[in-house]
Structure 1
Amino acid sequence: MQKILVSVAFIALLSGCSGFPGVYKIDVQQGNVVTQKMVDQLRPGMTRSQVRYVMGTPLLTDTFHEDRWDYIYTMQEGKGDYSRKNLTVVFENDTLAAIRGDYRPDTTN
């Protein structure tokens, strides 16, 4: 009986290793890094190639909505904090028509 209790305690200890002292967890970044400086360069009427030059290749291009590009960035910190940022650019007649998401362009320049 005592061996079973020791085994169960050992398994419980191993399953909780994420909170075990001395265990280091790395930060995990995924997707497109988008900065406010990049978004500020976007202007209505820009071509697809101009937007791609400023923003990079989008993470998602929907085959059913070819006029929409999605830039998604996620960050999972080792200590457990999670953040996600989205930016969607919409084209009409192959020119930039709208920007949606967590970033807004600064139009005062």
Structure 2
Amino acid sequence: MPKFITIIALLAISSLLGACSTLQFPGVYKITVEQGNVITQEMVDQLKPGMSKDQVEYIMGTPLIRDSFNAERWDYVYSIRRGDEVRKEYRMTIFFKADSLDYFTGDFIPTAITEQAEQSAETEAAADQTVKDS
């Protein structure tokens, strides 16, 4: 009888330890998990100050979070995890003033602003090079 109890105890302990294992089987397919509102650079590039809430909602979709205490703020959150990759999260917060788009913040910058920053950096670099050559 004691041998039977020992075998059952060992099986129970090995089952518990096996459940806590980080062992991964090769070739097992891991699905892509997307949650929230999909946010793309193209969507952000379409946003312009002065747009109505309906226009913003048409471009960005229904916000994930509408603050009931502040109707002038919409939050968009998008997270994605592909297979074994680390989960990535993107956020956008859009602020309205008198029911029209005032400004927005988040992980995306409009392409026009990025291009302007690159052009000004190139201009400064060229000006610095001209000063050094003189």
TM-score category, normalised to shorter length: 0.7 to 0.9
- Number of aligned residues: 108
What does residue 21 of structure 1 align with?
25
TM-superposed CA distance for 1:38, in Å, is 0.6
TM-superposed CA distance for 1:80, in Å, is 4.8
Structure with the higher fraction of residues in strand conformation: 1
Report % sequence identity: 40
Q: RMSD of aligned C-alpha atoms?
A: 2.0
What does residue 10 of structure 1 align with?
15
- Structure number with greater Rg is 2
Residues in 2 aligned to 1:77 and 1:50: alpha-carbon distance in whole angstroms: 31
What does residue 70 of structure 2 align with?
65
User: Which consecutive residues of structure 1, in runs of 5 or more, have no partner in the other structure?
Assistant: none
Query: If the length of structure 1 is used for normalisation, what is the TM-score?
Result: 0.86
Query: If the length of structure 2 is used for normalisation, what is the TM-score?
Result: 0.71
- Higher RCO (C-alpha 8 Å, min separation 6): 1
Pick aligned residue for 2:103 from 98, 106, 109:
98
- Any idea what SS the aligned residue of 2:111 has? coil
Structure with the higher fraction of residues in helix conformation: 2
Q: Give runs of aligned pairs for residues 19-58 of structure 1, distance below 5 A.
A: 19-22=23-26, 23-58=28-63
- Any idea what SS the aligned residue of 1:104 has? coil
Residues in 2 aligned to 1:66 and 1:107: alpha-carbon distance in whole angstroms: 28
TM-superposed CA distance for 1:9, in Å, is 1.0
User: Which consecutive residues of structure 2, in runs of 5 or more, have no partner in the other structure?
Assistant: 1-5, 116-134
